[in-house]
Structure 1
Amino acid sequence: MKKLRLSVKHILVVSFFVALSSCSEKGPMALFKKMSPHDAYAQRLKDAGLDRSAMGNAWLQKSETSVTNALNIDVPYKETGYFSAEKIPAAALRFNAQRGQKLHISLSKKPTQNFAIYMDLLEERNSSDRKLVASADTIGLLLDYEIKTTGKYILRLHPELLSSGEYTVSITSGPSLSFPVSAMGKPSIGSFWGDGRDNGGRKHEGIDIFAPKLTPAVAAAEGTVTNVTENKLGGLVVFMHPNNRDYSLYYAHLDKQLVQNGQNVRIGDTIGLVGNTGNARTTPSHLHFGIYTNGGAINPLPFVDRAVKNPKPISAKLNLLDATARTINTNTRLYVQPDEKAMVRTTLPISTVIQIEAATDDWYKVSLPDGTQGYIYSKNVIPANTLRKANVKTTQPLLDLPDTLNGARITTLASGQAINIKGSFKNYFLITDKNDNTGWMEAERK
C-alpha cells in the first residue's frame, strides 16, 4: 500500500500551527466562526501555506475524493475503524433518508485526546451538487439533524493531520415529531399514505391511527392552533402550525375539539378526542393525521414512526483494523455495501491482498491496492503473514504500488535473494525481503 511519508519539518509546522489556531479566540481565526469546523481547519492549513505541501494538499484532496467515492449503507448502521495519520485518511458513507426523519449520529474515539475528527453531513442532490447541512467537530461528538428533503445523504469523517486512532460511528433515525395519539389508548397505525379511497378514486393523504373512542389526540410539537373547524370528509378537525417548521399538522375525525384558534400548545397537550366524525362514521374510531405544506400533502409516517431500529452489533474481529490482510477463499465477493443481496463490485481470487479500514456487523470495509473499496465477509480474510518463501529469479525493483508505471522504487531485489510472499494482486506479489522492506514485485514467469 502506498504511504505518504511525513517529514520532520511538516510535522513540526502542522503541530505548531494547528495547536496555535485551535486555541485562538481572537484575530484572524474570528473570521471563520461561520464556517463549519472542517472548513475552518482547511482554511487554516491554506493560510499557513500547507496546501502547497504534499501532506497538506493530500488532506485537502481527500476531503473531495472521499465524498465522491462514498460507500453505500443502510440506516441504522454502525462501524468501528482506524485512521492512520501517515495515510491521510477519511471515511464517507452514503444513505437514503426521508423527509420528517431525525438522524442521530454519534461518534466515539480512542484516544479521546489528541485525536481530532470532523463530522459533516451533506445532502447529495446529484453527483456534482452536494450541500453541507450539518457538522460537528471532535468536541461535539453528537449530531442530530431533521431531514428536510427526501433523498441521498453523505456522512464524512475526516481526522486532522497527524491524528491517529480508532473511532466508532453509529447512525440511527427516528421521528422528528412526537406521536399524535396518547399512549394510554394503545394506538396503532392501520392505514397508510397512498392507500386507495372511494373505490380508487383518490389516494389517502395521511395515516389513520386507531385507538378507542375519546382517547386524547395530542400535540406532536410545540406550536399554534391555526384553525378549528368542520368539513365533510374530516368531520371535526384541527389544524396547527409547529414552531419553526414549514408545514401544518392536520387532526381529523375528532369526537371533540378541545383547543381554540390562536392557542399555543406544547408537546403532549390535548388537541381533541379521537372519534369517527365526517366520512368515518362507519369505521372504528381513529385519528386521521396529515401534514400539509405549500405544495400540498406529504407522507406523515416518517415524522411520527415509532419503529426505531438499532444497528447490529459488530461481530467482526477488531484486531485486524488498519491491517494488511488477504483472502482465503476462491472467488471471494467484494460488495458495494454490507448486504449479501447487494451488487457485487468484483470477485477476488484467493490470496488477494486487501487493506482493512473498518468493521460493521460481520463485515469488513476494505480497499484493494488499486483504491477500489467495498465490503467483504470477515470470515473470508486473514492477516497477510508469510504465505510462502521464495527466491527472486532476476534482479528487479521492489515497488510501493503494484504498478510498474506509477509505483516508486523502494529498493532493488537481487537475483537469488530470499523473500517472503504475503499475498498477491493481479500480476504482482506483496513481499518482505531480508531487510524487512515490504512492497510489490512483479510476478516472474516460470
Structure 2
Amino acid sequence: MPTRSRATAIRSPLTVPVLILGPALLVTACASARPRGPEPLAIPVQPPAEVVGDDATEALPGERALAHAVVIRPPYREAFRFSPGGSAAAVAYRLELGDGAHVRVEAEPPLLRRGGVVIELLEIVDRSAPLASDLLRLVARAEPGAHELEARVVRGGEYVVRIQPAPGHEGLYRIAIVDAAPASGGEGSLVFPVAGVGVEAIRGGYGAPRDGGRRRHQGVDIFAPRGTPVLAVADGVVRGVSVSAAGGKVIWLEAEDGEVAYYYAHLDAQLVEVGTRVRAGDVIGRVGNTGNARRASPHLHFGVYRRGRRIALDPTPLLQAAVSAVPVNGESVEGDVGALGGSARTVEADVPVHAAPTEDAAVVDTLAAGALVKLLGATGRWYRVELPDGGIGFAPAARFEVAQ
C-alpha cells in the first residue's frame, strides 16, 4: 500500500516536518499509498522539546493527547475517528521498548483518502512526572502525507507514540503499533497474502476442476473472515485495480523484477491504486466474496503468473515457504466502528471504565444505566469513550447501545 521515502535530517524542529533521526533510532518512513497532491501539508504539531505554558497546553491538540496517553503493550490495534478540536484531534500511546526492539506504527487512512498525518515517536526523559512537552524528546517523526513509521530502538526505555492529522484529513483511521522485526525469510520467500492465517486456510487448490471440468482453478483460495487484511506478498508495483464479473474486486501486483505478477481476487476492499509501490507485508486490500464468489464464504483467490499474466503457476510451494507478516489490524473489533464519533448509552448499571483496554487496568469511573458517552475509538472488545466530565477511558463495547 504505502511507498517508501528516504529519511532526512532536520535542522530545526520548526522546519517542514520530515523524518528526524535521533541517536537512539534507525528510522524509515512509509508514504501514503494514495497519490500525493502538489502542495505540502501544514500540520500544527507542537515541537515537544519546547516548554509549553498552561494556557497554551489547553489549546494544543497534541498536548491534550499527551494528557490522555494510554499505556499499551504491542501489538496494539485501534480504530480511531479523528475530528477537529476536543479529545479526538490527536491520540497518544505510552509503551516500553527494550534494547534493540523494532517498532512499527501505521495509521491507515479512510478508504480512497490520501491520509495526511504526522506520526511521532518521543522518548520520555523523566518518568517520574506526568507527561509534558518539556519531559519528552522528539526522536523520530514521519513526514506529513506518510502514514507509517518504523524504527529500531538501540536504547531501551519508555516512549510515546503520538498521531495527529492535518486539518481536513480527519476521519476514521486504523492504527497499529507493533513491537516486532519485519517479516523475513530465505531468498525468494514471499509474505503470506492473508494476515493471521497460514497454509491451513487454503481450501481450493491449484488445478482443481471448475465449471464441471471445463476449466482448471488457476490459483488457490485462502479462507478468512470478511475484512481480514490482504497483504503484498513481495515488494513491487500495483499494475491493476479493477472490478470484473468473475474476480469481483481484483488487484494485480507486479514483482520488482517484472518477471512475476500476483493476482488477488474477490476482495471486499481495494486499498491501493495503479502505480502504488508497495513493500512485502503492506496491506493492499481486505478479504471478501465479490464477483462469482458471492455465494461462497469470504476468501482470497490468489494466483501467480509469468510472462505478462499469460502463464499461471502453482502458488502452493511458494505459500508453503512463505513467512507470516504482522497484520495491520488483524484483531477483530466487537464495537460498531461506524458509530465512532457519535454517542452511545450504557444498557445496564455499574459499567466500569478502565484506564486502558484490559480488565486489570485501573477503574477510573463507573457508569449508571443510561449514561451517555462519546465514542472515540474501538479496540478488541473495548470502546474508547469520552465521559461527560471530559475524562477518557475504555469500557466493554457489549454494554453499550449506539444513541440514535
* Larger of the two Rg values belongs to structure: 1
More helix as a share of residues: 1
